[in-house]
């Protein structure tokens, strides 16, 4: 027992753990921040909120006149459905109509009377979803075909115009929303956040820490002893990985309490896979920091590595939105590999069989970078 | 019988870009000998000591510790050397005793030795203090303590008393004197204080611009220097102390 406590690896681990736990900022950024982020994004994307769409109606006073005055289809529609008339401070006239929908979230339509010129200005500013022109013999819809939001508004609204009873009918019966655990955005997001947290923790907690210690000439004093060099790095990494387990565990705990996230696949497989992902990033982090004593350079290197992966690896949205030719490359990033694997266990119920290969690849990446980093490591 | 030198420095050179910091130094240190390296700022003291410590590599020349070069013997030599660097930083967020424990573990030593050393350097009261909160002098004493942990055969101290108050300086001298009486440790110490060299060391080396200007026992130095001045034909009588000798040799004050 005493022998263990006196061993240099154990004392190095203790020193690193103490240093970490005695730094409150580290705890906030490591634990508090990811949880807050998951809560914020989770709430923002999970609650199906009522959407508001704005439709410009071209033509003179279409909205205010009685239906008998003309044959305006829109007027007829709006009045029949008791759309509320609103007059703005500047004299602008609009009508509001809310179509409730339990399953998909309601839609609030705002119809504004305006000139073609003004409509174009508002469209360019992104304040308009759709422009309706009834000056011809039939209704014309104008919108940007590249804008899916505008398309959706068009489809929804034109359907409503053809079948106004939809407003009164509860909702469309053939729609069955998939609110099952595993298919929501939050189910996609949390595994990604966990992996991103591991990457950032390794970059700052290992790379930056090493560079800072080197620049403060702390490493120099340590290697002027019989300390085994690899022990120093192994201790740093061990503490970091242990901390990552705690941080990710807490994030998962909060997400499971708030959003009822579950792990559908094998938990032991998840632990193994998570560990090998940690080793991959820890190895990369050691390699990244092996040479420089300038914290500014460290900063740059960390951003250079982590920024592209954060954007491309499908943490916040699926990387399948990127062009097809880039996807095979994206899938080779360590963060993509880790996020895909963790997600497959969380959501798709994967087990050892599915994650063995990527786990092994990440392990090899980690060990290779670590070894190279240790070889090239500058102690002062 | 001639004693075998424990440290041999043979024609050592070291440059940093345009600065030729150490230019051809020869030095031998015997077991249990205490040597002072005296010299103004930039003389090359730290560079020389760090080469002996194996932290920097000489560009030219050879350094042997117990007859062995650093290359290939690092593991063995590290065990018998204790050192404190001129700028020593420890981990801020560790307590004093934890720091000692950490460094002791590198030598395979336990808590007992840490207690001893802590008492030796008089820091018992600060046992639980974070390193970041220690005063400059307390940190110096911690650095000395760390250097003494492994009861080194060779002790290399780079300005161990700079920044200490006179009382604390005297305490460090007492510790080192006791060490001299009780063991066969050899010491190389750099300093700007003449008194320190006079009080502690049997052999004094005066350096400037990367070379040795003069070396010998205090007695030798003060005796011989009159001849040196005679050469310049401006004999003013022999220097009464190291201070005067130093100014004569280097043309500057030590503490500049
Ligand atoms: N890493 C370095 N890079 C460039 N120049 C250096 C480096 N280390 C030392 N020097 C230069 O080498 C010369 C000798 O420096 P050194 O630190 O050995 O002096 P010193 O005698 O210890 O001085 P001091 O009494 O101020 O500690 C100085 O001119 C210094 O500027
Ligand atoms: Mg110096």
CATH number of the domain that residue B29 is part of: 3.40.50.300
CA nearest ligand 1 atom 27, residue:
B41
Model confidence pLDDT, tens digit, residues B53-65? 999 999 999 999 9
pLDDT of residue A224: 93
The residue range of the domain holding A213 is: 6-45+180-376
Take residue B35 and report the two structure tokens written for it.
Answer: 């040597």
Distance to chain A for B180, nearest Cα, Å:
22
A320 in Cβ contact with A309 (< 8 Å): no
* Domain match, A207 and A223 both: yes
Asked if B207 contacts B24 with a C-beta cutoff of 8 angstroms, the reply is: no
Do residues B141 and B121 lie in contact, with contact meaning Cβ atoms separated by under 8 Å? Answer: yes
Burial label, A331 (beta-carbon count in 10 A; 0-12, 13-18, 19+): middle
**What is the Cα–Cα distance from A349 to B66, expressed in whole angstroms?**
64
Read off the pLDDT band of B97 (50, 70, 90).
Answer: very high
Angle between helices A229-259 and A185-202 (to 10 degrees): 160
pLDDT digits (tens, 9 = 90+) for A328-378: 999 999 999 999 999 999 998 899 999 999 999 999 999 999 999 999 999
User: What tokens were used for B134?
Assistant: 């220690």
- Same domain? A39 vs A167: no
Q: How far apart are CA A198 and CA A279, in angstroms?
A: 10
Asked if A226 and B89 come within 8 Å (Cβ–Cβ), the reply is no
How distant, in Å, are the alpha carbons of A377, B100, B105, B147 from that of A225? 17, 13, 10, 10
Average pLDDT of B38-63? Answer: 94
Beta-carbon contacts of residue A66 (< 8 Å; ≥ 6 apart): A75, A79
Task: Look at residue A65 in the predicted model and tell me its pLDDT.
Answer: 57
The mean pLDDT of B14-25, rounded to a whole number, is 92
Q: Which ligand is nearest to the CA of B255?
A: 1
Average of per-residue pLDDT across A242-249? 94
Contacts of A6 (CB under 8 A, 6+ apart): B104, B105, B108, B109, B110, B111
More confident residue, A59 or B111: B111
**What is chain A's length?**
380
Measured CA to CA, the distance from residue B201 to residue B211 in angstroms comes to: 20
A227: tokens are 């300390």
Percent of all residues in chain A with a pLDDT value above 70, rounded to a whole number: 89
pLDDT score of B93 more than 90: yes
Evaluate whether residue A78 is within a structural domain: yes
Domain that holds residue B6: 1-80+153-162+185-256
Structural domain includes residue B67: yes
Instruction: Report the range out of A164-178, A350-364, B234-248 with the highest average pLDDT.
Output: A350-364
Residues A359 and A211 grouped into a single domain: yes
Quote the percentage of chain B above a pLDDT of 70.
90
Q: Find the mean pLDDT for residues A192-198.
A: 93
Q: Could you tell me where the DSSP H helices lie in B193-253?
A: 194-200, 218-231, 242-250
Mutate to test the pocket of ligand 1, among B13, B40, B43, B246 (most ligand atoms within 8 A of CB): B43
Question: Mean per-residue pLDDT for B228-247?
Answer: 61
* Within a domain: A1: no
Compute the distance from residue B48 Cα to the ligand 1 centre, in Å.
Answer: 10
Chain B contacts of A222, Cβ < 8 Å?
106
Do A199 and A327 belong together in one domain? yes
Residue A20 lies in a domain: yes
Ligand 1 centroid – CA A169 distance (Å): 87
- For residues B157 and A295, the model is more confident at B157
Identify the CATH number of the domain in which residue A120 sits.
3.40.190
- Residue B211 CA from chain centroid, whole number: 17
Is residue B69 domain-resident? yes
Q: What is the mean pLDDT of residues A244-249?
A: 94
Residue where a domain stops, chosen among A172, A189, A211? A172
The verdict on a CB contact (< 8 Å) between B89 and A22 is no
Q: Alpha-carbon distance B22 to B187, whole Å?
A: 20
Tell me if B102 and A15 make a contact (CB, 8 A cut-off): yes
Tell me what pLDDT residue B230 has: 47
Number of structural domains in chain B: 1
Residue A349 counted as domain residue: yes
Q: Decide: A249 and A36 in contact? Cβ < 8 Å.
A: no
Buried b (16+ CB within 10 A) or exposed e, A208-237: bbbbebbbbbbbbbbbbbbbeeebbbbbbb
User: Do A154 and A231 belong together in one domain?
Assistant: no
> Which residue, B81, B152, B85, B110, is CA-closest to A11?
B110
Nearest atom, ligand 1, residue B50 CA: 18
Is A171's pLDDT higher than 90? no
Whether residue A333 sits in one domain with residue A225: yes
**pLDDT tens string A75-103:** 777 777 777 887 877 777 788 888 777 66
CA distances A287 to A215, A275, A370, A377, Å, are 17, 18, 6, 8
- The verdict on A12 and A76 lying in the same domain is no
Interface list for B 156-185 with A (CB within 8 A): none
Centroid of ligand 2 to alpha carbon of B46 (angstroms): 4
Strand partners, A210: none
pLDDT in tens, A22-59: 988 877 877 888 888 888 887 777 666 677 888 888 86
Same domain, A159 and A301: no
The pLDDT of B202-208, averaged and rounded, is: 92
Q: Which of A169, A165, A177 is nearest to A103 (CA)?
A: A177
Q: Do residue A218 and residue B89 have CB atoms under 8 angstroms apart?
A: yes
A67 and A95 together in one domain: yes
Q: CA B114, B118, B119: angle at the middle one, nearest 5?
A: 120
Closest residue on chain A to B89 (Cα): A218
B174-188 residues labelled b (16+ CB within 10 A) or e (exposed): ebbeebbeeeebbbb
B59–A contact, CB cutoff 8 A: no
Q: State the closest ligand 1 atom to the C-alpha of B192, by its place in the atom list counted from 1.
A: 25
Q: What is the value of ipTM here, to two decimals?
A: 0.87
CA B45 to chain centre: 9
> What pLDDT band is residue A173 in, cutting at 50, 70 and 90?
low
- Report the gap between the CA of A354 and the closest CA in chain B (Å): 43
Write down which residue in A121, A137, A172 finishes a domain.
Answer: A172
b or e along A287-324 (b: 16 or more beta carbons within 10 Å of the residue's beta carbon)? Answer: bbbbebbeeeebeebbeebbeebbebbbbeeebeeeee
Q: B102 to chain A: which residues are within 8 Å by CB?
A: 11-12, 14-15
Domain boundary among A126, A142, A172: A172
- Give Rg (Cα) of chain A: 29
Distance between CA atoms of A301 and A296, rounded to whole angstroms?
A: 9
φ, ψ of residue A251 in degrees (nearest 5): -60, -45
B100 touching A (Cβ < 8 Å): no
Could you give the CA distance from residue A208 to residue A379 in angstroms, rounded to a whole number? Answer: 14
Cα Dmax for chain B: 62
Q: How far is the CA of B40 from the centre of ligand 2 (A)?
A: 9
pLDDT of residue A180: 62
Kindly state whether residues A196 and A125 are assigned to the same domain: no
- A 185-244 → B contacts, CB under 8 A: 216-218, 220-222, 224-227
- Residue at A276 is within a domain: yes
Contacts of residue B140, defined as CB under 8 A and 6 or more positions apart, other chains included, come to B84, B88, B160, B161, B162, B163, B164, B168, B172
- Distance of alpha carbon A137 from its chain centroid, rounded? 47
Residue A14 contacts B where some CB pair is shorter than 8 Å? yes
Please give, rounded to a whole number of angstroms, the shortest distance from the CA of B104 to a CA of chain A: 8
Instruction: Report the pLDDT value the prediction gives residue A172, as an integer from 0 to 100.
Output: 57
CB-CB under 8 Å, A225 with B78: yes
- Is the same domain home to A154 and A81? yes
What residues does B235 pair with on adjacent strands?
none
Query: What is the pLDDT, as a whole number, of residue B244?
Result: 75
Residues A228 and A256 in one domain: yes
Å between B228 CA and nearest CA of chain A = 40
Look over chain A and give the mean of its residue pLDDT values, rounded to a whole number: 85
B234, pLDDT greater than 90: no
**Residue numbers in B near A7 (CB within 8 A):** 105
């Amino acid at each position: 027992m005493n022998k263990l406590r006196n061993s240099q690896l154990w004392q190095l681990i203790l020193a690193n753990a103490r240093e970490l736990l005695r730094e409150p900022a580290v705890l906030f950024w490591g634990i508090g921040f990811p949880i807050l982020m998951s809560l914020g994004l989770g709430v923002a994307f999970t609650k199906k909120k009522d959407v508001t769409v704005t439709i410009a109606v071209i033509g003179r006073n279409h909205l205010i006149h009685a239906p008998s005055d003309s044959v305006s289809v829109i007027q007829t529609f709006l009045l029949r459905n008791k759309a509320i008339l609103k007059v703005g401070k500047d004299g602008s006239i609009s009508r509001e109509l809310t179509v409730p929908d339990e399953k998909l979230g309601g839609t609030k339509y705002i119809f504004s009377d305006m000139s073609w010129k003004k409509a174009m200005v508002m469209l360019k500013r992104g304040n308009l979803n759709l422009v309706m022109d009834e000056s011809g013999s039939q209704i014309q819809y104008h919108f940007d075909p590249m804008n899916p939001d505008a398309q959706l508004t068009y489809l929804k609204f034109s359907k409503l115009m053809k079948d106004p009873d939809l407003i009164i009918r509860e909702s469309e019966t053939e729609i069955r929303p998939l609110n099952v655990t595993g298919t929501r955005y939050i189910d996609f997001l949390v595994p990604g956040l966990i992996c991103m947290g591991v990457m950032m923790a390794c970059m700052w907690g290992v790379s930056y820490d090493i560079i800072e210690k080197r620049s403060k000439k702390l490493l120099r004093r340590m290697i002027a002893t019989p300390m085994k060099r690899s022990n120093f790095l192994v201790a740093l990494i061990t503490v970091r990985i242990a901390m990552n387990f705690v941080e990710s565990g807490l994030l998962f705990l909060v997400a499971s309490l708030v959003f009822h996230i579950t792990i559908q696949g094998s938990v032991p497989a998840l632990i193994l896979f998570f560990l090998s992902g940690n080793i991959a990033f820890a190895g990369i982090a050691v390699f990244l920091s092996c040479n420089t004593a300038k914290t500014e350079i460290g900063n740059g290197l960390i951003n250079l590595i982590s920024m592209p992966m954060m954007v491309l690896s499908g943490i916040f949205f699926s990387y399948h939105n990127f062009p097809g030719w880039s996807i095979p490359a994206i899938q080779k990033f360590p963060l993509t590999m880790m996020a895909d694997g963790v997600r497959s266990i969380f959501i798709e119920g994967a087990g050892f069989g599915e994650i063995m290969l990527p786990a092994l690849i990440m392990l090899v990446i980690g060990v290779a970078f670590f070894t190279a980093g240790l070889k090239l490591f500058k102690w002062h | 019988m001639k004693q075998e030198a424990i440290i041999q420095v043979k024609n050592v050179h070291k440059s940093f870009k345009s600065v030729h910091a150490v230019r051809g130094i020869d030095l031998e240190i015997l077991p249990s000998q205490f040597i002072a390296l005296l010299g103004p700022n930039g003389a090359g003291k730290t560079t020389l000591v760090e080469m002996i410590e194996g932290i920097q590599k000489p560009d030219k020349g050879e350094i042997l510790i117990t007859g062995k070069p650093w290359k290939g013997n690092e593991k063995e030599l590290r065990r018998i050397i204790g050192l404190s660097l001129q700028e020593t930083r420890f981990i801020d967020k560790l307590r004093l005793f934890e720091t000692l424990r950490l460094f002791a573990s590198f030598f395979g030593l336990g808590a007992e030795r840490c207690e001893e050393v802590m008492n030796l350097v008089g820091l018992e009261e600060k046992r639980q203090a974070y390193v970041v909160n220690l005063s400059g002098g307390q940190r110096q004493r911690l650095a000395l303590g760390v250097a003494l942990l492994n009861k080194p055969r060779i002790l290399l101290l780079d300005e161990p008393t700079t920044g200490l108050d006179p009382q604390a300086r005297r305490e460090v001298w007492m510790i080192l004197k006791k060490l001299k009486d009780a063991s066969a440790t050899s010491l190389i110490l750099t300093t700007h204080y003449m008194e320190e060299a006079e009080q502690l060391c049997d052999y004094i080396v005066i350096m400037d611009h990367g070379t040795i200007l003069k070396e010998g026992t205090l007695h030798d130095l003060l005796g011989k220097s009159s001849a040196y001045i005679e050469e310049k034909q401006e004999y003013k009588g022999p220097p009464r102390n190291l201070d005067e000798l130093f100014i004569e040799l280097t043309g500057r004050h030590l503490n500049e």
